[in-house]
Amino acid sequence: MNFFAKPAVAIAFGAFFLCAESCLHADEIVRIASHPLDLPVYDWSAGGFLLVAGILSRRDWSAVRRQYQAVAWGFMLSLLVGASLSMVGEWLTPPVESEWLSEGAFLAIVVTMTIIALFALVSTLKVRESR
């Protein structure tokens, strides 16, 4: 399980999350002038924080940098748990036919990302305790 504590996992996950949220909210990004509050600022913050924490941890695996990475994983996990719970509510309603990905597949992706973030947080904290 120490694999998830590696800085490369944080970097890859943070970069993927930034890209995925930007693509998912491309319509809001285009309409920024009319609705700036629709932008996924919290999601970008969590992805960016995780990306930066992974980069800093890669350079020096000191206790302080591991703590940054653990906090970043905790922030990411909190957002993903909230997204998972809201997706369950959407999944239980009748499906929308115009979506490019089914709600069940999207829920599976979000739940998988939540489990990865949980494993990463736990393994980052365990590495911190053992050294």
pLDDT of the residue at 116: 95
pLDDT of the residue at 9: 92
What's the whole-model pTM score? 0.80
Q: Walk along the chain (131 residues) and give the pLDDT tens digit of each residue.
A: 688 888 899 999 999 998 988 887 777 677 675 666 667 788 889 999 999 998 888 766 666 677 888 999 999 999 999 999 988 887 787 766 666 777 888 889 999 999 999 999 999 888 754 54
pLDDT of the residue at 56: 85
Can you tell me the distance from the alpha carbon of 114 to that of 84, in angstroms, rounded to the nearest whole number? 8
pLDDT of the residue at 34: 65
**Could you give the number of structural domains in the chain?**
1
Q: Residue 59 sits in which domain range?
A: 2-130
Could you give the dihedral angle defined by the CA atoms of residues 21, 117, 8 and 67, in that order, rounded to the nearest 10 degrees? 110
- Which is nearest to 16 in space by CA: 46, 55, 47, 42? 47
Q: In the chain, which ranges are continuous DSSP H helix? A: 7-24, 26-30, 41-59, 63-92, 103-130
Residue type, 6: K
pLDDT of the residue at 121: 94
